[in-house]
Amino acid sequence: MPDNFYRNYGKRIFDFCFAVIGTLFCLPLIMGISLMIKLFDGGPVFFKQVRVGKDFKKFTMYKFRTMIATDDTNGPLVTAPQDSRVTKIGSWLRKFKLDELPQLINVLRGDIALVGPRPEMEKFVNYYRKEYTEVLSIYPGITDDASLKYKDEAKLLREAEDVESEYLQNILPEKIKMYQKYLGEMSFRKDVSLILRTMQEIFS
């Protein structure tokens, strides 16, 4: 598939078809996780948060709730391993990246792509507004090179006195460089490779 066609048309078709298949395939798992959260933690199943998408358009991103229901909006915006807000089930979901599954809904809605820069909160995007003008010329995504490199991001923040400042000043700039690199490499082959690598990381 020619790269230009994929960038302009094929990527959305690929995302939608894969998201439909993925949602149907994962439906039993999604239902099981929803039931566990409801039975053992109570409260809402999903965590909803406003993120910044393509061309700085805001959207509501969905995840399985992994924190105590009353504390989801309190405390740092970045989570460290020792964060007391994370529930037992939430810790397990985060370990295997299963809390990200509901983002298939966002893909189906056209908010994000399967592969692309991770969507950030407005506070972080505004800090690097100039860089994000380029990064958000495409749809953000569920996975990318930066997501794989920083899959243990919480552990990197373990010793930080201020996890938000550490993320904002040291980790996010490196992610942005990888986002910009992806813009020049984006292709059908690249996206399939990233999806396969992501699945390998989860199941390994």
Contact 17, 195 (CB under 8 A): no
Sequence-ordered alpha helix ranges (H) in 44-141: 88-95, 103-109, 122-127, 129-135
Contact 188, 163 (CB under 8 A): no
**Whole-structure pTM value:** 0.87
Q: How many domains does the chain have?
A: 1
**Domain coverage including residue 24:** 3-203
Strand partners, 47: 63
Question: 125-139, pLDDT tens digit by residue?
Answer: 999 999 999 999 999
**Cα gap 133→85, rounded to integer Å:** 33
Question: 172-192, pLDDT tens digit by residue?
Answer: 999 999 999 999 999 999 999
Q: Would you state the pLDDT for residue 72?
A: 47
- Kindly give, in sequence order, each residue whose CB lies less than 8 Å from that of residue 201, ignoring residues fewer than 6 positions away: 97, 148, 151
Count Cβ neighbours within 10 Å for each residue of 35-71 and write b for 16 or more, e otherwise.
eebeeebeeebebeeebbbbeeeebebbbbbbbbeee
Whether the pLDDT of residue 120 is over 90: the answer is yes
The token duo for 5 is: 């066609």
Q: Of all helices (H) and strands (E), which one includes residue 22?
A: helix 11-36
- Percent helix, percent strand, percent coil in the chain, to nearest 5: 60, 10, 30
